[in-house]
Chains A and B, each alone.
Chain A
């Protein structure tokens, strides 16, 4: 079994200072299911003291969170041109 953290380390990202996805945490507070914690293949969503936290730097830009967020709490956009995930082999 391999660890997901090791897998994620292999991904090439060109991180821009400006986040391309913004989470409105207030909208998360009354979400029971929190699909984001499970559907994100890069584990960008975590839960701390009952609050959902999001970091955009490891995002694969797959868009699963965009479709699955039950509270429409995400302002989802693409990173600036040339930034974000850069698949090396595909």
Chain B
């Protein structure tokens, strides 16, 4: 391939496909290079995609996108010993266009979105690893692939090569991850008939539900469990802090089995036939852990740039990948129109990211990673809330105390300053 492209996108995940679609739609020549055997071969999700950004990129996406279920019920589960507190945030308008979010399986979904980029004119090559960049002075002017005669030139290169972006480090944009900048996600996909899913999760038709769970099943390991209903399968998994696994000498899989063994969870997944087990890193460091987003001739998007927000209940990654990819695509269009891919023009990327949700969400939840690391969040608070709720529903033979007194007594087990600090941090972070 001796041709020069306007844009080369590294990675055909959601950020890459979104960038390619945007640039190709504007008439640029676009090459997408994917290292997987096929599109989606390296991609997994929990997972639910929040779809408002998708609607902007592919209007009326629901008409042909391979979606599983629109998520009507978002549930929070806090376990403590024999008790489990569940909160259901249900919204039936989420079952109507433009919806709020859908459960998805990534292989099909990513292939569909990449197909949209292809329809717009982008060329997509799979089974090819990009190892390095071509430079002219300080400017990135193309990529070196691992194929013979694999150097390809472009006016702008967009990196969307995921959480382990070796290239972002090579380009000097990213420092090494700290141990707290990553979360390890593992997931099982369990086959269950739609009828069984509906009965157990309290759903009708194709409506979906998800759970975010914290509590004693993960004792000592900051992290949480998740469950998402698909059409005829359930995604169940955990996101945990690897450092804690090493310290506690326990594997993520063992923590997941403890979660699955909780009676409240076991009844939901009983008899589910295992279809797939998978694992993936999540860049959870938030705004302060983001790399530099561009240099001459180069832009970074999606997981490679750390576009993930985790507030414990709402997890954003795929929508931010779509949003940042789109902004990168638009910036590449601008650079090509001006014939100038220098940082002076590429800095427009930051402005676009700030005007949309990508950077504004990252900034708004800047303190979320710190809050999510509080060990109290994962054990003391689930215990505390369960204790208060238990007393609310239990009538003993002793004189009744007011709810406020019960709560105060329970709070005695947690240092008041810690509660105040967590509450303030929580309000600021989430």
Check A1 against B36 for contact (C-beta < 8 Å): no
Q: Does B95 contact A (CB under 8 A)?
A: no
**Stretch from A22-30, A48-56, A73-81 forming part of the interface with B:** A73-81
Contacts of B189 in A (CB 8 A): 89
Check B41 against A85 for contact (C-beta < 8 Å): yes
- Residue interface mask A53-70, B partner, CB < 8 A = 1: 000000011111011100
A64-B182, A82-B37 known; A89 vs B242 contact (CB < 8 Å): no
Q: How far is the CA of A63 from the CA of B184 in the complex (A)?
A: 9
Check B281 against A67 for contact (C-beta < 8 Å): yes
Check A88 against B276 for contact (C-beta < 8 Å): yes
Q: Does A87 contact B (CB under 8 A)?
A: yes
Contacts of B145 in A (CB 8 A): 81
Interface of B is mostly: mixed
Closest to B165 in A: A63
Q: Does B363 contact A (CB under 8 A)?
A: no
Check A60 against B146 for contact (C-beta < 8 Å): no
Interface size class of A (residues with CB under 8 A): 35 or more
Contacts of B281 in A (CB 8 A): 62-64, 67
Contacts of A78 in B (CB 8 A): 35, 129, 164, 166
Q: How far is the CA of A8 from the CA of B186 in the complex (A)?
A: 12
Contacts of A66 in B (CB 8 A): 164
Contacts of A11 in B (CB 8 A): 276-278
Q: Which listed residue (A7, A35, A88) contacts B246, Cβ 8 A? A: A35
- Residue interface mask B224-247, A partner, CB < 8 A = 1: 000000000000000000110111
Interface residues of B in 19-64 (CB under 8 A from A): 35-38, 40-45
Check B279 against A62 for contact (C-beta < 8 Å): yes
Contacts of B129 in A (CB 8 A): 78-81
User: How many Å from the CB of A26 to the closest CB on chain B?
Assistant: 21
Contacts of B105 in A (CB 8 A): 89-90
- Residue interface mask B247-263, A partner, CB < 8 A = 1: 11111110001001100
A38-B246, A87-B43 known; A1 vs B184 contact (CB < 8 Å): no
Check A7 against B179 for contact (C-beta < 8 Å): no
Q: Does B139 contact A (CB under 8 A)?
A: no
Q: How far is the CA of A77 from the CA of B169 in the complex (A)?
A: 13
Q: Which listed residue (B163, B257, B276) contacts A63, Cβ 8 A? A: B163
Contacts of A86 in B (CB 8 A): 36-38, 41
Check B36 against A82 for contact (C-beta < 8 Å): yes
Q: How far is the CA of A68 from the CA of B129 in the complex (A)?
A: 24
Check B40 against A77 for contact (C-beta < 8 Å): no
Check A81 against B127 for contact (C-beta < 8 Å): yes
Q: Does B274 contact A (CB under 8 A)?
A: yes
Q: How far is the CA of A38 from the CA of B40 in the complex (A)?
A: 27
Q: Does B177 contact A (CB under 8 A)?
A: yes
Contacts of B242 in A (CB 8 A): 35, 39, 64, 67-68
Q: Does A41 contact B (CB under 8 A)?
A: yes
User: How many Å from the CB of A36 to the closest CB on chain B?
Assistant: 8
User: How many Å from the CB of B16 to the closest CB on chain A?
Assistant: 15
A35-B242, A81-B35 known; A90 vs B110 contact (CB < 8 Å): yes
Check A87 against B276 for contact (C-beta < 8 Å): yes
Closest to A67 in B: B177
Contacts of A8 in B (CB 8 A): 277
Contacts of A80 in B (CB 8 A): 129, 146
User: How many Å from the CB of B377 to the closest CB on chain A?
Assistant: 21
Q: Which listed residue (A35, A41, A67, A83) contacts B279, Cβ 8 A? A: A41
Check B275 against A89 for contact (C-beta < 8 Å): yes
Check A4 against B253 for contact (C-beta < 8 Å): yes
Q: How far is the CA of A10 from the CA of B40 in the complex (A)?
A: 17
A62-B184, A87-B276 known; A14 vs B37 contact (CB < 8 Å): yes
Q: How far is the CA of A10 from the CA of B107 in the complex (A)?
A: 16
User: How many Å from the CB of A12 to the closest CB on chain B?
Assistant: 9
Q: 15 A-B residue contacts at CB 8 Å?
A: A11-B278, A34-B246, A35-B246, A39-B184, A39-B251, A41-B251, A41-B252, A62-B280, A77-B166, A78-B164, A81-B127, A87-B42, A87-B278, A89-B107, A90-B110
Chain B residues in the interface with A (C-beta under 8 A):
35-38, 40-45, 105-110, 126-129, 145-147, 163-164, 166, 176-177, 179, 181-182, 184, 186, 188-189, 242-243, 245-253, 257, 260-261, 274-281
